[in-house]
Amino acid sequence: MRDVVINLLASAIAAVAGWTAQYLVRQRRVQRKRAFLGVRPGAEVLLFVARHAGSPKPESVHRTDVATLVELATMIRESGGVPTLVTSDEGRREAGRVAEYCVGGPDTNPRTAAHLRSALPGIRFGDFEPDKPLVMWVGDTAYQRQPGTEQYALLARVRSTPDAAPAWVIAGQSAMDNLGAVRYLAAHHRALRKTYGKATNFCLLLVLREPSVFGSDHVHLVGDVSAPAFTALDEPDRAIAP
């Protein structure tokens, strides 16, 4: 009988130890993800959304950007944050106090435009014209949108100081590209954390290949464009990327 009790106690202790170890591992993963994303437990995280470029209503949001917001909100809640939606009309919030995510290009999201001017001066978006391909300038190189074939997006994290909450800029050439960039972040945040840690500013250029067939799931990294993105150019020699 004594041996049975000892064996039961040993099994119980082993089970508790195993559960505790798994719990600690999960907590460490959450803490690392939280630090990388800039989410503080129980703190508000601002989601600045672009207005729908093709809608006359100022507060209209593209349905694909709604899907992007849902994916961001899920990541934030999993990290212990409280996502709060902010429209372009409510964009007057001080930067650096809480984490923020800006979805959409500068033409439709004033918050994105402000971050490009202040932190990413090497990034330029061409003016939208209905019958002309949209161009994104990274330093002195232009990336031209090929609708349905190749479409580009930026994924950038900007901190004004190492202790400030980050601003994430998710700026694609279309709403589909915004969603692709967020899905890339969700899929690769561990690898990105190992590369950039919790404080390093960075800017990545992504491309959606064959989005007319694969939607927003076929996303590839073109490269780290932090050097040209964070460097202001007076008169860049603009060349179309091959």
* 38-240: CATH class: alpha beta
- 27 has pLDDT over 90: no
pTM (2 decimals)?
A: 0.83
Cα gap 11→5, rounded to integer Å = 10
* Among 21-25, 31-35, 102-106, 198-202, the least confident range: 21-25
SS3 181: helix
SS3 202: strand
Q: Which of 197, 170, 151, 206 is nearest to 75 (CA)?
A: 170
Positive/negative CA dihedral, 226, 229, 232, 238: positive
Return the residue matching tokens 């939208």: 128
Return the residue matching tokens 């091959």: 242
> Cβ-count burial of 144 within 10 angstroms (0-12 exposed, 13-18 middle, 19+ buried)?
middle
Amino acid present at 36: F
Q: Which two tokens stand for residue 56?
A: 């006359």
- 236 has pLDDT over 50: no
